[in-house]
């Protein structure tokens, strides 16, 4: 069995963003030389997510509005976590959108369902953050 590990780094200029990282993950698979296996992609921060869904800007706007209703950023004083920081909402948004995705690799490609793409979800940006890509297989 072969293994592969890489960190992808992001520095988003805004507090929140969704970034399609599918091409970056495919590059990792190509570099690994693994044709049959599994790829795990996880955010290495507790205020960011990795998730799979459609690359459609309306949907991403809908996610942002929905998450902001569930866990509004303002007023920051509404959260106990925000003693000395202001990112309690980002922890909650990450919890809803998830920590990681696992995808089958078949014939050296991501074995997706229809319209599936991989996204990095940032909820407390404006600093450097990383995503782990771990691949196992042969």
Give the residues lining the site for Zn ion (CB under 5 A): 85, 87
Q: Which is nearer to Zn ion, 19 or 76 (CB)?
A: 76
Q: Is 6 helix (H, G, I), strand (E, B) or coil?
A: strand
Shortest reach from residue 81's CB to Zn ion, in Å: 6
Q: How many helices (H) and strands (E) are present in the chain, helices listed first?
A: 3, 8
Shortest reach from residue 15's CB to Zn ion, in Å: 13
- Whole-number Å distance between alpha carbons of 87 and 63: 18
Residue nearest to Zn ion (CB): 87
Shortest reach from residue 66's CB to Zn ion, in Å: 21
Q: Which is nearer to Zn ion, 23 or 75 (CB)?
A: 75
> What Cα–Cα distance (Å) separates residue 55 from each residue in 22, 74, 86, 88, 126?
10, 28, 29, 27, 23
Shortest reach from residue 117's CB to Zn ion, in Å: 28
> Residue 114, Cβ neighbours under 10 Å: how many?
5
- Whole-number Å distance between alpha carbons of 130 and 18: 14
Q: Which is nearer to Zn ion, 69 or 80 (CB)?
A: 80
Sign of CA dihedral 32, 33, 38, 39: positive
Q: Which is nearer to Zn ion, 24 or 86 (CB)?
A: 86
């Amino acid at each position: 069995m072969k293994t592969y590990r890489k960190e992808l780094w992001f520095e988003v200029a805004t507090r929140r963003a969704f970034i399609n990282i599918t091409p970056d993950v495919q590059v990792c698979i190509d570099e690994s030389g693994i044709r049959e296996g599994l790829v795990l992609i996880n955010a290495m921060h507790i205020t960011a997510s990795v998730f799979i869904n459609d690359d459609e800007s309306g949907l991403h706007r809908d996610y942002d509005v929905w998450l902001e209703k569930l866990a509004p950023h303002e007023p920051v004083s509404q959260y106990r976590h925000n003693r000395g920081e202001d990112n309690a909402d980002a922890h909650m948004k990450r919890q809803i959108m998830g920590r990681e995705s696992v995808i089958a690799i078949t014939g050296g490609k991501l074995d997706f369902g229809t319209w599936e793409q991989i996204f990095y979800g940032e909820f407390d940006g404006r600093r450097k953050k990383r995503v782990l890509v771990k691949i196992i297989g042969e």
